[in-house]
Structure 1
Amino acid sequence: MNLAEFKCEAWLNNWERLATYDIAQSTVEAMTVDEILKLDSEAGERLWRDLRHEKLSYGWIEGSPRLKTAISKLYEGVDTDHILASNGATGANFLAILALIEAGDHVIAQYPTYQQLYDWPESLGAEVDYWKVEEEAGWLPSLEALKEMIRPDTKLICLNNAAQPTGAFMERKFLEEVVKLAKSVGAYILCDEVYMPLDDSLDRVAIASLYEKGISTNSMSKTYSVPGLRLGWLASQDDDFINEIRKLRDYTMISTGVLDDALSAFVLEHRDQVLARAKGIIQENLTILKSWVDQESNVSLQAPPEVSLSFVKLETIPPEETEAFAISLLKEKGVLIIPGNRFDMPAYARIGYACEREVLEKGLALLSEHLREYKK
C-alpha cells in the first residue's frame, strides 16, 4: 500500500509545540474537565464520584446506551442500533472507507478538503475523481460538475460539511441534489460533519438523516470543544453498512474506553450549553478576524459561516513561498498557521480563530508584522 503523508497533520506534528501563538487549530477553544463538570454542578459531582470508582474495563463495546442515546438526538431517522462509537471522526472515516472500498471502485471526493477523504480510498486502490471546490462559488463545488463525474459504477461520494480548510457549507437544498445523483446510481455518501456551523440562519441537515445510504461521521472535537476525548461515531440508516463496521471495529479498536464514553455522554447531554459557549467564542472571534482582514491590505477572506476555521488568502506571498513564509512566521514571531500548500492550495493559510481571544489578537498582529517584513 502506498499511503500518502497526511500533510496537514504532519505539519502540526512537526511545529505545534513550538508555537507561542497557535492560531492554526480548528477546534473551538478546548474545555477543561472542571468546565465540563460545572455544566451541571450536581450531576457533574455525581459523575466525578462515579468515575473515581469505575473499573477501567473495555466498557460498552459499541458505545454505552447513554452515549448512543445522546448521539441519536442529533439525527432524524437514525436509532441507537445504527450508531457506533469510534476513535474520533478520523477513526470513523477510516472505518467507513475501509468497509466500502476495494481496488478498482470509483469514488468521487470533494477536493481539496480533509485529505483522508480522498487519499485513503486512493491508497486502497480506488479510482478517485476530485470534485473541485470553486473560490468564486464560495468554495463550494459545482453540481453540474458532479453530474458529469458520476458514473453507473460510482460506489462512494466523500464530503466534508462544513469543509476543511475553507469552512464552506452545503445547505439542505444543495445536499438534496447530491443525494439525487447518488441515488440514481446507488452510491453511498460519506460526510464528515465535525464542523457543523452554528449559524442558525443556515438550513442544516446531517446526511444520515437525508439519505438511507448516507453516512454521517462526527466527534467530540471541533464544535464540541473536547478533542482530548478521542471519541467519534458513525451514523447511518443502512443495515449492511453498519454491520460491516461492527466487524471492522473488532479488528481495529474494540472500544473507546469508559472514561471517554462517560465524559462524552455528559457533554452531549448538555449540548445546548456547550454549543452556546462555542457560539459565543466563534461570534466574538470571527468579528475580530473580519476586522483584522478589513484593515490588513495584504490578505483577503471569504468569511466562514460561524465555523471554527477560516482560509485566508496571502495576497503578497508568492505561492511557491507559502510554506517558507509560515515557517519563518513561527520561528521569528512564534505564530503558528497552516500553509495552504498543505491542502494543495498555496498562497492561502488556514487560521483557526476560535482560540483564546488574546492569542488570536496577538497572533494576527504579529502575522501583520511578518507580512510587511518578510524578505524586505
Structure 2
Amino acid sequence: MKYVRMPIEIESPEEYGYDKIKNNLSESSIADQTLRTLGLQIPTDIVLLYNEHRGSTRLRELIVADSGLSKDDVLITSGAAGALFIISTSQLTRDDHLVVVRPNYATNIETPKAIGCEITYVDLSFELGFTIDLSFIESVIKAGTKIVSVTCPHNPTGAVMSRDTLNSLVALTKARGCLLLVDETYRDIHYGEQLPIAAQLGDHVISVASLSKSYGIPGIRCGWVITQNKDLQEQFLAAKEQINISGSVIDEWIAEQVLEKREIILGQTIQEMKIRLDMVATWIGKEDLLEWVRPVGGVVCFPKMRTEPPGGTAKFYERLLLQHATYVGPGHWFEMPDMFFRLGFGWPSREQLKAGMDAISRALRA
C-alpha cells in the first residue's frame, strides 16, 4: 500500500494551529468534552492490562442495547477511522471493485485508493439534495464488486437517506452478493426519524460508528464495527490483533460511562444542535450569496457559493482566515469544487458560530 496524506489532515486546524483561528467552523463534531464536563473521575485502581481483544463486554452490550443485535456482533476499534481501515484492508485487494459515495469522509476513499482497488464513485448532486441514486448503484455493481460504501447521516452534507432507500440498498447488495458498508458516525444526532443500526438488516451489512463526533470525545479513540457475519468478525478481529491487539482500558472505561448516560447526553446535545442548525438556517436564508441543502442529521452542512467570490475561491479562503481568523473546510477536502465548503455548527460556541458566519458573509464580498 502506498499512503498519501489527505488534504483534510494536512490543512486541519490542529496542524495549522488553533492559536491562529478565532472562529473555527471547520470541525465536524460537537464541542470537545472533558472528564469534568462529563462528570467523570478515572478510578485509580483500573488495572492497566491487555483488554478483551474484542473490547470490553459491557461496552459492546451498551453499543447494541435495544437493537436486537448481540455484543458478539461488535468489535471495538481505534475510532471509526480504525474500523474503516480494518474493513478496507481485510476485504479489498487490487483485484476488487468498490462502489462508494462522493463527497465523503476521506478515509472511506483514501484507504481503498492506497490498496489500489478499482473504484466507482456515486457522485451526490447538490441539485438533487445529495440523495443516493439507487439506479446508478445498481447499474455499476458487477461480478468483482466487493463493497458498496455509503454514509448516513452523510459527511459533509448532513443528508440522511430514507428508510426505504436503506432497505433497497440492503436488498440490492444482498441480491448481487456484495457487502454493504454504512458509516453511521453521526447516527445519534438526528432531527427527524432515526434509522436503525444498518447491521440489523442483514448479515452482509457492516455498520461503523464512534463516540468522536456525536459525543465530543475524539481523544479517547473509541469506535466500532458491527456485523452479524461471524466469518467477517473473525477477519476484523484478526486485523485488530495485528494492529494493536486490544484497546485502551481507560478509553473503554470512559466510553462505558458515557453510554450508560447516553439518553441524557444525547437529549441535551440534540436540543442544542437544533438551536445551532436554526441559527445557520436563518443566516443562509438572508445570505443571497449562498445556498444549501438543510441537514437532517449530524452537525455539519455543505453550503455552496452562488457566484465566484472576488478574486476567486482561493482568495476567499485566504481573506476568511487571515483577515477574519475564521476557518471552514474547503470543498477540495472532499474532492469537490471549492465553491462548496463544510461548515461545522456543533463545535464552536454560539457566539463563535455567529461571528464566523458574519465573517463568511464579509469575506464573500471583499
User: Normalising TM by the smaller chain, what interval?
Assistant: over 0.9
Post-superposition offset of 1:152: 2.6
Q: Is the contact made by 1:16 and 1:22 (CA closer than 8 Å) also made in structure 2?
A: no
- Which secondary structure state, in structure 2, belongs to the residue aligned with residue 330 of structure 1? helix
Aligned partner of residue 152 in structure 1, secondary structure: coil
Q: Which runs of 4+ in 1 moved over 4 A?
A: none
> CA offsets per residue over residues 58-85 of structure 1, 9 Å max, x none?
3333211111111121633x21112111
Residues 1:127 and 2:127 are matched in the alignment: no
Match of 2:226 in 1: 235
Q: CA deviation at 1:136?
A: 2.1
Q: Within 2, Cα distance between the matches of 1:99 and 1:139? A: 29
1:55-204 alignment runs, 5 A limit: 55-73=47-65, 75-76=67-68, 78-196=69-187, 198-199=189-190, 201-204=192-195
CA distance in 2, matches of 1:306, 1:16: 29
Q: What does residue range 1-376 of structure 1 map to in structure 2 within 5 Å?
A: 1-12=1-12, 13-17=14-18, 18-37=20-39, 44=40, 48=41, 51-73=43-65, 75-76=67-68, 78-196=69-187, 198-199=189-190, 201-317=192-308, 321-346=312-337, 347-355=339-347, 356-373=349-366
Within 2, Cα distance between the matches of 1:271 and 1:24?
26
- What's the CA shift for 1:324? 4.0
Once the two structures are superposed, residues 301-336 of structure 1 have per-residue CA deviations (whole angstroms, 9 ceiling, x without a partner) of 111014200001122335994344223311111101
CA contact (8 A) 1:21 1:335 kept: yes
SS at match of 2:124: strand
Which residue identity does 1:213 align to in structure 2? Answer: H
- Percent sequence identity is 27
Against the structure 1 CA distance between its residues 11 and 324, is the aligned structure 2 distance closer, same or farther, given a 3 Å change threshold? farther
In structure 1, the gaps of 5 or more residues are 38-43
Distance 1:53 1:326, change over 3 A: same
Per-residue CA shift, 1:81-121, capped at 9, x if unaligned?
A: 12111110000000011111111101111112112212212
Alpha-carbon contact 1:114-1:165 (below 8 Å) kept: yes
Sort the Cα spacing of 1:275 and 1:109 in 2 relative to 1 into closer, same or farther, 3 A. same
CA distance in 2, matches of 1:320, 1:268: 48
CA contact (8 A) 2:331 2:342 kept: yes
Two-structure CA RMSD over aligned residues (Å): 1.8
Matches of 1:145 and 1:74 in 2, distance apart? 34
Give the drift of 1:5.
2.8
Contact 1:162 1:197 in 2 (8 A): no
Between the aligned partners of 1:203 and 1:2, the Cα distance in structure 2 is 38
Match of 1:41 in 2: none
Q: Distance in 2 between matches of 1:318 and 1:183?
A: 46
Please give the alpha-carbon distance, in whole angstroms, between the structure 2 residues aligned to 1:92 and 1:321: 38
Count of aligned residue pairs for this structure pair: 362
Change beyond 3 A, Cα 1:58–1:345: same
**Structure 2: gaps of 5 or more residues:** none
**What is the distance in 2 between the residues matched to 1:102 and 1:369?**
48
Q: Which amino acid aligns with 2:133?
A: S
Structure 1 counterpart SS, 2:219: coil
1:204 deviation in Å? 0.8
Does the Cα contact within 8 Å between 1:190 and 1:214 map onto a contact in 2? Answer: yes
Shift of 1:56: 2.5
What amino acid does structure 2 have at the position aligned with 1:14? E
Q: Which moved more, 1:245-254 or 1:2-11?
A: 2-11
SS, match of residue 365 in structure 2? helix
Displacement of 1:164 in angstroms is 1.2
Is the 1:108–1:157 Cα contact (8 Å) retained in structure 2? Answer: yes
- 8 Å contact from structure 1 (residues 61, 254) kept in 2: yes
Aligned counterpart, 1:40: none
Query: Contact between 2:302 and 2:341, CA under 8 Å: does it hold in 1?
Result: yes
